[in-house]
Amino acid sequence: MNKIEHIGIAVNDLQQAGNIYEKLLNTAVYKIEEVLSEGVKTAFLGVGTNKIELLEASTPDSPIAKFIAKKGEGVHHIAFEVSDIRAEMQRLKDEGFVLLNGEPKLGADNKLVCFVHPKSANGVLIELCQEVNRD
Ligand code: ZN
């Protein structure tokens, strides 16, 4: 694992939360992106070499809608940047972690992603992400 790439925060209203985090971090949302496969709308803000990802449910059965119904708004996941997502997935599987994805999938921000079940990581949903080569 290379570093914390971003922290994902589940919010009710992306516009409202975007305004709050722009004030908090004193920087502008630089990207808004909908990930249809996940039923989420995301907004990204940079903070140093890390990012904050705000997540709003875009469908009623979105994982974010379910999370907020159960726990309310708040920290949803921590994402770690990896160089080789398949190798990291295999390593974690061998260590006994439960992965939520059998194969890496295309997530927000031009990343291949895979999630690790929170039960495997003391209640925290973990995301692995690898930058997709653009060329
Ligand atoms: Zn994320």
Give pLDDT, residue 36: 87
- Is the confidence at residue 33, as pLDDT, over 70? yes
Tell me the pLDDT tens digit for each residue of 83-112: 999 999 999 999 999 999 999 998 888 899
Q: What is the pLDDT of residue 112?
A: 95
Instruction: Tell me the CA–centroid distance for residue 135 and ligand 1, in Å.
Output: 23
Ligand 1 centroid vs 88 CA: distance in angstroms? 17
Distance 96 CA to ligand 1 centre (A): 22
CA of 131 from ligand 1 middle (Å) equals 12
For residue range 118-135, list pLDDT tens digits in order.
Answer: 999 999 999 999 999 765
Distances (CA, A) of 8 to 43, 45, 77, 87, 96: 10, 11, 5, 23, 24
Nearest residue to 52 via CA among 82, 85, 17, 86: 17
The predicted model gives 39-61 an average pLDDT of: 96
Cα of 94 vs centre of ligand 1, distance in Å, is: 23
Can you give the pLDDT at residue 109?
83
* Residue 38's pLDDT band (cuts 50, 70, 90): confident
The Å distance, Cα 78 to ligand 1 centre, comes to 7
* pLDDT given for residue 134 in this prediction: 61
What's the CA gap between 43 and 108, in Å, rounded? 10
- State the distance from the centre of ligand 1 to the C-alpha of 50, rounded, in angstroms: 12
First-to-final CA distance of the chain:
23
Instruction: Kindly give the distance from the C-alpha atom of residue 120 to the centroid of ligand 1, in angstroms, as a whole number.
Output: 18
